[in-house]
Amino acid sequence: MKDYRFQTVEELATDDMFRTWVIAPTPEISSFWLNWLASNPQKSADVYAARELVAAVHEIYSDELPEAMLQQEIQEIARLAELRKNGKPSSILQVINKPIWRIAAICVLISGLGLAFYKNQNNRAVSTSAKSDIEANDVLIVRENHTTHDMTVLLSDNSIATLTAGSTIRYPKKFTNKVRKVTLTGEAFFDVAKNPEKPFLVYTDETVTKVLGTSFRVKALEKENTVMVLVKTGRVSVYPKTAYERLETKPDHNVAVIVLSPNQQAVFNRKENRLEKGIVIDRQLLSELSDQKELIFDDKPVSQVFKTLQEIYGISIVYDAAALTQCNITAQFSDENLKQRINAICQAIGASYEMVDGRIVISSSGCTQ
Amino acid sequence: MESGENISIVSDANVRLWQRFKAGESAALGQLAQVHYRWLYNYATKFSSDPDFIRDAIQELYLELWERRDNLSETAFVKSYLLKALRHKLIKESIKLKRFQEPGQAIFDSACEDMPIESQIIADENSHFQTSRIKGIIKLLSKRQQELIYLRFYQNLDNEDIANIMGLGRQSVANLLHRTLKDIRQIWTPAEFMWALLLFSLLF
């Protein structure tokens, strides 16, 4: 082993092997340094000082970034990079950039506006899945969950709302305003796509919940005396609706707001018109589906994986089956959200995705094996 | 976190990774991001306590490198360059977002005077030394001194890298570091008794 001659505490404290001894020692490294100490007793004060310095700096400055979150971020970076690749029209939006398509899109938009006007006259609730292609962007889509199980609703900004039975959500077909506003009656879990420039707002009758990109549940059941907001990831601001509206007219006004971090909840008391902050007790409420099940795919064709997800979430996934015939996947999903699952799959097969008209559209050039 | 330190993109595997990145393979960007992500995240927590804000900033940093990949040289992915770019971005963004920040979030980013530690001890009666006396002492240093100690002994960077990141001259970094360590030494009576205990616990 190399002969160590140190002049100063600083030199010791910045030596890689010495640092390993302090932070993550192995038996070999410990015994090396103890031997070294024994043969250099005059240096022991420096060694201890350097040890204390390195240990203290690590205690002060360490963070707690979970490995899973790190991996998710890496995947997200790779996914966004794939989406932003130049040259290749990997998304439908890029196709629309061609002039001929632009003209076509404008025609659709105009006829869509007419249709929307007509529909508004009739004051009819519209459902996305069937006739979404020709509606104008500002039209509010209303979806009511008449079923007895959770309903997955895909929003145009790649956010996902999971409605519990009996709940209703209203949202624009496209978020064209400065904010992304949705209105909820009942209960839903939201997995919101990050967009710091366009806050995402969930209105209930009494509260406004504002986020930039995160996941959380809003529970505003008519039969209950409270509205609850429970946060899974990210940071969420909750306002009484009256306070938020005051803020919109007078931006510098001091209003009641509660800022929530993961695993915290806000409870709005309808009778007392009061907001309170607390810790989430029922952790089940922090998962997207009320009966989230573990899924295991062992070297399965990706088309089969998509099929399973379509069934679980009741959504449609559009992909080029021919291009993906070679793609197999091994994956285990437990408490991931739909988005995390789609992310992981796309990462594995080198694909990208978008949410278009309430469907997930996968773009991939296929796998070579 | 100690391994994978100061990766220079010279070895064979790294050359290939670099070529894949240049060729526009998004998975290669993911692998490059993996190398220093933890270090960057940790550094960013010293400027903001909002994990979303931090993740957005790091994401943006890598995506900017991705979009400029045609004109990029390999030094762009050296740790100290990334830290410098991130620091710049965080400070810029936090100024933009100032209104939304809660007090006490910025840790390194305020430019305050380097006061002698003794006077700060007197000024700050609340700061009793906790488990380790040196921890208490470091926390009393000025923001600039703390960042220096952090970059030197946590991120384990040399004076030249630190000078580059903090936008200081190399000599001023050396001087400030020297002065800071001297300051620490003066009031730090290392716990000899603890050392003896430590040595025993290590030997037996």
Secondary element (H or E) of residue B20: helix B12-22
Distance from CA of B38 to the nearest CA of A (A): 8
The span from the CA of B3 to the CA of B35, in Å, is 10
- Looking at chain B, which residues constitute the CATH 1.10.10.10 domain(s)? 117-203
pLDDT at A244 over 60: yes
Using CA atoms, how far apart are residues A143 and A128, in angstroms rounded to an integer? 8
The full 3-state SS of chain A, as one line of letters, equals CCCCCCCCHHHHHCCHHHHHHHHCCCHHHHHHHHHHHHHCHHHHHHHHHHHHHHHHHHHHHCCCCCHHHHHHHHHHHHHHHHHCCCCCCCCHHHHHCCHHHHHHHHHHHHHHHHHHHHHHHHCCCCCHHHHHHHCCCCCEEEEECCCCCCEEEECCCCCEEEECCCCEEEEECCCCCCCEEEEEEEEEEEECCCCCCCCEEEECCCEEEEECCCEEEEEECCCCCEEEEEEEECCEEEEEHHHHHHHHHCCCCCCCCEEECCCEEEEEECCCCEEEEEECCCHHHHCCCCCCCCEEEEEEEHHHHHHHHHHHHCCEEECCCCCCCCCEEEEEECCCCHHHHHHHHHHHHCCEEEEECCEEEEECCCCCC
Predicted confidence band of residue A41 (pLDDT cuts 50, 70, 90): confident
pLDDT (tens digit, 9 = 90+) per residue, B153-192? 999 999 999 999 998 899 999 999 999 988 888 777 655 5
CB within 8 Å: B30 and A55: no
CATH code of the region B117-203: 1.10.10.10
Q: Does B77 touch chain A (CB under 8 A)?
A: no
Record: contact B198-A48, CB cut-off 8 A: yes
Chain A within 8 Å of B108 (Cβ-Cβ)?
no
d(CA A269, CA A220): 11
Question: A124-133, A336-345, B40-49: lowest mean pLDDT where?
Answer: A124-133
pLDDT for residue B198: 57
The pLDDT of residue B108 is 60
Whether the CA torsion B140, B142, B145, B151 is positive or negative: it is positive
What pLDDT score was predicted for residue B129? 36
For residue A331, what pLDDT band results from cuts at 50, 70 and 90? confident
**CATH, range B12-100:** 1.10.1740.10
Task: Provide CATH 1.10.1740.10 ranges for chain B.
Answer: 12-100
Which pLDDT does position B190 carry in this prediction? Answer: 55
CB A256 within 8 Å of CB A240: yes
Q: Rounded CA gap, A162 and A236, in Å?
A: 18
Question: Which residues of chain A neighbour B138 with C-beta distances below 8 Å?
Answer: 56-57, 60
B contacts of A57 (beta carbons < 8 Å): 138, 149-150, 153-154
Whether ipTM exceeds 0.90: no
φ/ψ of A29, rounded to 5, equals -65, -40
What's the pLDDT at B41?
Answer: 94
Give me the percent of chain B exceeding a pLDDT of 70.
68
Averaged pLDDT, A242-267: 79
The pLDDT-based confidence of A162 (bands split at 50, 70, 90) is: very high
Confidence (pLDDT) at A182: 94
pLDDT of A56 > 90? The answer is no
A212 vs A277, higher pLDDT: A277
By CB neighbour count within 10 A (0-12 exposed, 13-18 middle, 19+ buried), where does B53 fall? buried
Burial of residue B3 (number of CB atoms within 10 Å: 0-12, 13-18, 19+): exposed
User: At a CB cut-off of 8 Å and minimum separation 6, what does A197 contact?
Assistant: none
Short-list A215, A220, A211, CA closest to A232: A215
> Distance (Å) from the C-alpha of residue B40 to the closest C-alpha of chain A?
11
Cβ-based contacts under 8 A for chains A and B? 124
Whether B61 shows a pLDDT value over 90: the answer reads yes
Q: At what angle do helices A338-349 and A302-313 cross, to 10 degrees?
A: 170
β pairing state of A264-269 and A274-279: antiparallel
B107 interfacial to chain A (CB closer than 8 Å):
no
**What angle (nearest 5°) sits at the alpha carbon of residue A332, between those of residues A330 and A336?**
130
Contact A25, A34 (CB under 8 A): no
Q: Can you tell me the distance from the alpha carbon of B39 to that of B58, in angstroms, rounded to the nearest whole number?
A: 11
* Pick from B164, B173, B179: nearest CA to B78: B164
Helices A16-23 & A27-39 angle (0-180, nearest 10): 110
Contact A77 B62 (CB under 8 A): yes
Domain A67-89+293-363 has CATH 3.55.50.30: yes
pTM of the model: 0.48
Asked whether residue A96 carries a pLDDT value surpassing 80, the answer given is: no
Domain extent listing, chain A: 9-61, 67-89+293-363, 137-286
Fold of A137-286: Jelly Rolls (2.60.120)
d(CA B151, nearest CA chain A) in Å: 10
pLDDT averaged over chain B?
Answer: 75
DSSP for residue B186: H
pLDDT computed for residue A252 by the predictor:
64
**pLDDT at position B97, please?**
60
Residue A52: what pLDDT?
85
Shortest Cα–Cα distance, B171 to chain A (Å): 17
> Buried b / exposed e across B75-84, counting CB within 10 Å, b at 16+?
ebbbbbbbbb
| Chain B residue at shortest CA distance from A260 | B50
CA distances from A107 to A115, A174, A293, A306, B45 (A): 12, 17, 44, 33, 49
- Would you call B58 an interface residue with chain A, using a CB distance cutoff of 8 Å? yes
Q: Cβ separation of B52 and A214 shorter than 8 Å?
A: yes
Q: Token pair of B172, please?
A: 């001023």
